[in-house]
């Protein structure tokens, strides 16, 4: 099957890309990015300075499933508007384009605590993207809600690093839903969701990805 992967340069996305390229389940992985990825014989890497410009041409690649691992932080994005663009506008734009192109299977990473009723902008944005991607109409939709994500990043996030260290220290007494979720485990859950393509909408919660 052909897989469209969004967010291939991020922590979860890069692990998903590596696993997908090594899996016999996928004949081709289409991963649009702003900067070129390392070449691979199964990788198709459309480039664009603005990812949303690539959404309308998705149909020409004929993917069977989409995995969306797009995500940033407000600090990295620089503003609430920029964060909202990456974590809400891009997933919804690609989701609509993929559905219009006939894709029936979609999996997305949001976050623990995602809720449209949240007083926190981050969690509220995640809740809104969950709500609106459900309305697109995919036959199979999987929403992964990890807690803190563990793995080596290509960037320094001091606040997140401190939170990860604290979560690991307190792991013996913390509920499982607050344990660190390894990026590789999240990636494997996303790929399994794409392959199995269970009908309907289902959530995979943090405690299932330890």
Domains of the chain: 2-153+182-205 (3.40.50.720)
Is pLDDT at 111 greater than 60 in this prediction?
yes
Residue 29 makes CB contacts below 8 A (sequence gap 6+) with 2, 3, 5, 17, 20, 21, 40, 42, 43, 44
Residue whose structure tokens are 């410009």: 53
**pLDDT, position 167:** 46
pLDDT digits (tens, 9 = 90+) for 41-89: 999 999 998 998 899 888 889 999 999 999 988 888 899 999 999 999 9
Q: Is the pTM of this model over 0.75?
A: yes
Is pLDDT at 117 greater than 70 in this prediction?
yes
Q: Look at strands 140-145 and 2-6 and give their pairing.
A: unpaired
pLDDT digits (tens, 9 = 90+) for 126-165: 999 999 999 999 999 999 999 888 856 555 455 555 554 5
Percent of the chain past pLDDT 70, that is, above it, reads 86
More confident residue, 110 or 178: 110
d(CA 183, CA 160): 14
Is pLDDT at 33 greater than 60 in this prediction?
yes
Q: What is the dihedral of CA 109, 21, 1, 28, to 10 degrees?
A: 110
**pLDDT, position 170:** 45
**pLDDT, position 25:** 97
Please, are residues 181 and 209 in contact by the beta-carbon 8 Å criterion? yes
Residue 72 makes CB contacts below 8 A (sequence gap 6+) with 82, 83, 86, 87
d(CA 76, CA 170): 27
Tally of residues, the chain: 210
């Amino acid at each position: 099957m052909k897989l469209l992967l969004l967010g291939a340069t991020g922590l979860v996305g890069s692990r998903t890309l590596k696993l997908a390229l090594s899996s016999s389940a996928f004949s081709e992985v289409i991963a649009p990015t702003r900067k070129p990825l390392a070449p691979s014989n199964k990788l198709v890497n459309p480039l664009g300075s603005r990812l949303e410009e690539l959404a309308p041409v998705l149909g020409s690649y004929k993917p069977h499933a989409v995995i969306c691992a797009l995500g940033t932080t407000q600090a990295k994005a620089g503003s609430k508007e920029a964060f909202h663009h990456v974590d809400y506008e891009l997933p919804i734009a690609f989701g609509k384009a993929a559905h219009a192109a006939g894709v029936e299977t979609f999996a997305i990473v949001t976050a623990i605590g995602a809720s449209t009723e949240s007083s926190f902008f981050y969690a509220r944005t995640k809740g809104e993207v969950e709500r609106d991607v459900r309305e697109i109409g995919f036959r199979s939709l999987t929403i992964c809600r990890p807690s803190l994500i563990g793995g080596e990043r290509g960037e320094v996030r001091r606040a997140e690093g401190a939170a990860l260290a604290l979560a690991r220290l307190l792991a013996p007494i913390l509920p499982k839903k607050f344990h660190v979720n390894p990026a590789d485990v999240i990636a494997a859950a996303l790929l399994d969701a794409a392959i199995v393509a269970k009908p309907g909408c289902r959530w995979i919660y943090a405690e299932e990805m330890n």
